[in-house]
Structure 1
Amino acid sequence: MNKNKAKSMRRVIQAGLLVLLLLILILYNLYISEFLDFRILSIGDLNPYGGWNALKDYLTDSSYEFEGLSKSMALTIALLVMAMVGGRFFCGWICPIGAIQDFGTWIGSKIGVKRYQALGKRNSNPLFIKYPILLAILLLSIFGYGAIIAEFSPWRALLNLPKLVSAWKEMWIGFLVMVTVFISASVIPRFFCRYLCPLGAAQTLFSSLSLLTLKHSKGCSRCNKCLENCPIGIKLSPNDDNISPECIRCMDCVDNCKITTDISIALKLGQRNFSSKYYVSAVLLLFFVVWLGIPKLWGGSSMVSGIALNNLKDGVYQGEAKGFAARIITEVSIEDGRITGIKVIDHHESKGWYEEVFMVLPKEIMRKQRIEVDVISGATKTSKGFLKSVESAVKKAVDTAI
């Protein structure tokens, strides 16, 4: 695959996936607004940190019980598996934040913004910027500050873009970060990817194990002409045949030697060349199969309460329990011994994740007349916090009846 064809294919895939994402988000917002009775995916399914949240809970919460893989957890697995097989392909071809940055770079070139290839006169080593950020985020998450970190996430802001007006007051920091990511890319290509993105940092660590690698040939003079427009600012190392794991696999440098007709950089599986066309197809397929396929085999997450919902005394009862961010307070109405109403009185859950929980689960509880419902994929902690809050309220009705 020649350079121009690879670049065109990448732009088409990036644009197509970004449009598809926006369509999914628009349909989802119509769903939670109850204009539609279906959605393709939930916002929670698009949370790439689901696997980390589950691992953190397993290690730090003694009450944690594994009850199946959600799509959010599978997304984390898909990203890491893909990195180990094909490097940071997600960053270069799939990531919507990456696509926004590439668009920002293109806009900057059209309006004449002066472009720099690095941060400072010398390309700053992301080891001293991006990885401390990743470590800090992991530690803050472990200590219970995940909801605060989420306020700064451009990914979360992007997922809530269709409701920008209504979400602005609660999520203005994230939206401003997203705009900053776009503007910064017009000055330094992929600035966020190179220096700040914690998800990119995690993938880089795993991409160092990649089965498919980019290598320059023995006859390569390492003049770096083929990398003049590298969006990550990578330079060929005189001591290593492999391209840096920071590479986002845009494939612009492959078959792009400007000095000779020899191939200066090629994609290899071991010592054998691997077609760029097959590489793109195989890694894309791997990503979607792992993300959307694994939950069908090992999915399912529900909460079952031991409280029998019979002989309940009529009245209005309040309950509370810990959710993702803080306590969730609910109000449960009992009439003729049945649950007839469930309201959320107070909560501090993250915008974009709690809406479906608070819309769907009350209906399911009232329909079944039992606290035995499936949690919302990607919003497990909010779901279980809500259900435990309802359970604590209903327990008061049971206790009163006794």
Structure 2
Amino acid sequence: MKKTISKLQGLRLISQIMFLFLMPELFTLIFNQLKKLYSMILKGNFDVISVWPQLLTMSTIFIITIIFGRFFCGWLCTFGAINDFIYIISKKVFKTKFKVDEKVDSILKYLKYVILLFIIVVIWTSGNTAFDSYSPWDAFAQVDNISGAIAEYTGGFILLAIIAIGAAFIERFFCRYLCPLGAVFTILSKARILKIKKLRDKCGPCRICTNNCSMGIKLYEMDKVNSGECINCFKCIAVCPRKNTKVNVLGEDVNPLLPSAIAIAAFTGVNALGGVMNDGMVNHSSNNTAASSSNVNKSEQKKYKDGTYTGVGKGKNPDLKVAVTIKDDKITNVEIVSNNETKGKEALSTIPNKIVDTQSTDVDVVSGATMTSKGIMEAVNDALSQAEIKDVNQKKYNDGIYTGIGQGKNPDLKVAVTVKDDKITNVEIVSNNETKGKEALEVIPKEIIEKQSTDVDAVSGATMTSKGIMMAVKDSLSQATKNN
């Protein structure tokens, strides 16, 4: 039995390390797909047939969780693995023996539901961007570029530090108390068919299983573990001196290796199939659109009317107002009329000059003043939309396929944008050097086509890759507008 347990825990460790290096963005990908699902339901445009490939990863994990429980948390999740590794190292090095009172632990576990509710109501429903810089997932995605990202994600890095400190003293600190996705999984796993059976009449007074439970579940009170907090780490099986703790599926005791292997194989298999199908759909769409694209349609008409136009945007605070002057189809002046910014004021003088110099709102943000910078760009875009000549006979874009380049986490992120009848019909990632945040490569192009705009939400945890794609698409569209 010891050999089986040792093999089980060894395989779990291998699984955690493998997913940590091969799919570090998995947590973020699932959370963003959940956000997309909620957004579509909220807007009333949810279509199962057209959208299911975009939600395949989330759907697969949710189904596995409903049937077998939280294998994702115990075996696949990057954040969970890092929490485990921090705790193990801290325990070995600092000999930490900190224990949370059971009543306090039970109360704190409700905090993750509060966080989930806050994200849904305050951020997803209202579209509030004020908390973008506080995302610990975005901060984690930038750890290899911390010097360049710490100003933009100061709040996120602070939260990440708190999570790391908490993990050093409390096993699975983030998973127990803070994880919003964990709150969803706790609810979903309530009806699972896999249970951990532990008959109390065969137990001694040791409470070793409870003392070793990663999630602090009071196992000594249970004959079967029905708690949604259980992450199927199976440590309670490994430490039981009487071999009284067993995995039970539909009333039958089974080797814990079996459901573990099924859960991991099901996810990796379906996820790989989804990637192949998605690539096929993208290529099919690209080929069809390319075949139907026409020659460039040129026009001599002006894009903007001369005059001064007022636009409004939201920086760190709302009502950032600018006045944009247009002369001979050029931006000749951008003036900040009023603002409520308390920080990042250097952007108020820098960004307008950049926009005039480049004749574009696609300029670099001022480090440490990201939200103010974006607010100015938003306000200028608002003003330019008013200045646009609304001629039904004038097309904004020329039909064709245009290649653009942007910089994500790494340079040379190349896209091919297909335009037909003044609409973006396809965005294809031609090549990239991204090592992290790859979920954005799938999500952002679809969002751009859906909204017919590059002004889409960045994928949490893949912000730089998201912005790189938007930059590359803008570069493509700038070519499509030449000679218009």
TM over 0.5: yes
Deviation of 1:266 after TM superposition, in Å, equals: 1.0
Note the 1:46-85 alignment, pairs <5 A: 47-61=29-43, 67-70=50-53, 73-85=55-67
| Superposed displacement of residue 96, structure 1 | 0.9
Unmatched segments (≥5 aa) in structure 1:
23-42, 327-332, 334-340
How many angstroms does 1:162 deviate by?
Answer: 3.2
Q: Secondary structure at the match of 1:214?
A: strand
Structural mapping, 1:322-337, within 5 Å: none
Matched residue SS, 1:49? helix
Q: Contact conserved, 2:426 with 2:449, CA < 8 A, in 1?
A: no
SS in 2 for 1:205: helix
**Counterpart code for 1:372:** T
The equivalent position to 1:191 in structure 2, one of 141, 160, 173, is 173
- Deviation, 1:100, is 1.0
Q: Does 1:312 align with 2:306?
A: no
CA 1:315/1:342 → structure 2, altered by over 3 Å: closer, same or farther? farther
Show the counterpart of 1:271.
251
> CA, structure 1 residues 355+218, in 2 after alignment: closer, same or farther (shift >3 Å)?
same
Structure 1 stretch displaced more, 111-120 or 282-291: 111-120
Distance, in Å, in 2 between the alignment partners of 1:64 and 1:170 is 33
- For residues 220 and 181 of structure 2, the distance between their equivalents in structure 1, rounded to whole angstroms, comes to 25
Q: Secondary structure at the match of 1:134?
A: helix
The higher radius of gyration belongs to 2
Shift of 1:240: 5.2
Give, as a single letter, the amino acid of the residue that structure 2 aligns with 1:247. C
- SS of residue matched to 2:151: helix
Match of 1:378, SS state, is helix
The alignment's TM-score, normalised by the length of structure 2, stands at: 0.60
Structure 1 equivalent of residue 136 of structure 2: 154
**Structure 2: how far apart are the matches of 1:82 and 1:316?**
57
Aligned to 1:381: 447
Match of 1:292 among 264, 272, 275: 272
Deviation by residue 1:146-165 (Cα, 9 ceiling, x = unmatched): 64444333333333333333
SS in 1 for 2:105: coil
State which of 10, 13, 38 in structure 2 corresponds to 1:11.
13
Name the CA distance, whole Å, in 2 between partners of 1:165 and 1:222. 53
Write the distance in 2 (CA, Å) between the matches of 1:120 and 1:316.
Answer: 70
State the match for 1:40 in structure 2: none
Are positions 1:344 and 2:362 aligned together? yes
Where structure 2 has 5 or more consecutive residues not aligned to the other structure, the ranges are: 305-310, 319-328, 330-358, 364-372, 378-405, 429-440, 456-473
Answer whether contact 2:419 2:426 (CA < 8 A) is retained. no
Amino acid at match of 1:210: R
> How far is the alpha carbon of 1:190 from its aligned partner?
0.9
Q: Per-residue displacement from partner, 1:151-190 (whole Å, max 9, x unpaired)?
A: 3333333333333333222223223322321221111111
Q: Match for residue 169 of structure 1?
A: 151
TM-superposition CA deviations, 1:192-240 (whole Å, max 9, x none): 1101100111111111121222121364337422232222111126365
Contact (CA 8 Å) 1:131, 1:198: kept in 2 or not?
yes
Identity of aligned residues (%): 22
2:298 is matched by which residue type in structure 1?
A: L
Q: Contact (CA 8 Å) 2:197, 2:224: kept in 1 or not?
A: yes
How many angstroms apart in 2 are the aligned matches of 1:256 and 1:149? 42
Distance 1:220 1:125 in 2: 30
Separation in 2 of the partners of 1:45 and 1:342?
35
**1:231 and 2:202 matched:** no
**2-side partners of 1:169 and 1:178: how far apart?**
14
Once the two structures are TM-superposed, the CA of residue 84 in structure 1 deviates from its matched residue by 1.1
Partner Cα distance (1:316, 1:347) in 2: 27
The TM-score normalised by the length of structure 1 is: 0.71
Structure 1 residues 250, 368: closer, same or farther in 2, change over 3 A? farther
Distance 1:309 1:154, change over 3 A: farther
Instruction: Using the TM superposition, give the Cα deviation of residue 385 of structure 1 relative to its aligned residue in structure 2, in angstroms.
Output: 4.3
For the Cα contact (< 8 Å) 1:113–1:187, is it kept in 2? no
Task: Give the corresponding residue for 1:371.
Answer: 424
Larger RCO, structure (CA 8 Å, separation 6 or more)? 1
**Partner of 1:39 in structure 2?**
none
Contact in 2 for aligned 1:105/1:187 (Cα 8 Å): yes
Counterpart of 2:187 in structure 1 is 205
Q: Which amino acid aligns with 1:373?
A: N
For residues 361 and 174 of structure 2, the distance between their equivalents in structure 1, rounded to whole angstroms, comes to: 40
Distance of 1:146 and 1:44 partners within structure 2: 24
Contact 1:267/1:273 (<8 A) preserved: yes
Contact 1:227 1:253 (C-alpha < 8 Å) held by counterparts: yes
